[in-house]
Amino acid sequence: MIKHILQGLQGYAGAFGLISKLKLWKYFFIPIIISFVTAVIISISAYGLSDNIGNFIAKIWFWDWGKETFTTVSSFIGGFVVVALGLILYRHIIMALSAPFMSPVSEKIEAHLTGIQKHQHRNTSFSEQLSRGIKINLRNLTRELLLTIPILLISFIPVIGIVSSILLFLTQAYYAGFGNMDYTLERHFKYNESISFVRRYRGIAIGNGIVFMLLLLIPIFGIILVLPLSVTAASLKTVQVINAEKLSH
């Protein structure tokens, strides 16, 4: 697992240079717009919702003493929950809608690595790529929420909360990396086969997703660079692993 996580992280080493070398920036124009607009909408919604959730939680406290303190803490909790869920929604929305634009990027990277300009894999149309992107991300969104909600509840327990924060970060990283890897996998495998592949190499998904999540912490530039760098890094490693599997059989 640790070895695969390191591989996922290593994919970023030559990502920026490869994007420029293969002239891939033009493919990221629309996804960057999708990413920026989605981030703005979710941020505005989160700002408004955090107070509402905080006030709802505050109603649990029936007593007058400590009411003000509990309300302040509740507002913080509401903000934390909204940010965590907002990040999840943001990732899956941009990954699903960007699928048709990211597949050509992945294909060009594979052609560069293998020297084969015309692949003999599954040929999919724009609508099929979009449909697959939505299907994969809806599946991952559902599973991630099922894991995230109990982790969020545990996070409010003293001491254990620190561990749950790490679990929450790694869970989000895994599903971020999953989505990035699937832009390559969709050419090689059917839906269920792709899921099995990522499970075998979940460490690579986590490694890729760790940097994805850290990039989002960078104001504005993170939103712009997150897809180009993470998709390129994931494509590099996914193609390498697929080719290694073929050689081993």
Please state, in angstroms and rounded to a whole number, the distance separating the CA atoms of residues 62 and 219: 39
pLDDT at 238 over 70: yes
Q: Rounded to 5 degrees, what angle do the CA atoms 19, 229, 140 make?
A: 135
Give 222's pLDDT tier (boundaries 50, 70, 90): confident
Angle between helix 202-215 and helix 191-200 axes, rounded to 10 deg? 90
Q: How far apart are the first and last CA of the chain?
A: 22
The pTM of the full predicted model, rounded to 2 decimals, is: 0.84
Instruction: Tell whether 165 is covered by a domain.
Output: yes
pLDDT at 201 over 80: yes
Residue 236 or residue 126, greater confidence: 236
Give 129's pLDDT tier (boundaries 50, 70, 90): confident
Number of domains composing the chain: 1
Return the pLDDT at 133.
87
Least-confidence region, from 90-99, 111-120, 163-172, 185-194: 111-120
| pLDDT tens per residue, range 103-118 | 888 989 988 888 766 6
Q: What is the mean pLDDT of residues 141-149?
A: 90
Instruction: Tell whether 225 is covered by a domain.
Output: yes
Instruction: Tell whether 128 is covered by a domain.
Output: yes
User: Are the beta carbons of 227 and 99 closer than 8 angstroms?
Assistant: no
Instruction: Tell whether 18 is covered by a domain.
Output: yes
Give 119's pLDDT tier (boundaries 50, 70, 90): low
Instruction: Tell whether 53 is covered by a domain.
Output: no
Instruction: Tell whether 48 is covered by a domain.
Output: no
How many of the other CB atoms lie within 10 Å of CB of 175?
27
Domain housing 127: 2-32+92-248
| pLDDT tens per residue, range 14-43 | 888 999 999 999 999 998 898 888 888 887
Return the pLDDT at 87.
81
Token pair for residue 78? 């509401």
Instruction: Tell whether 64 is covered by a domain.
Output: no
Instruction: Tell whether 73 is covered by a domain.
Output: no
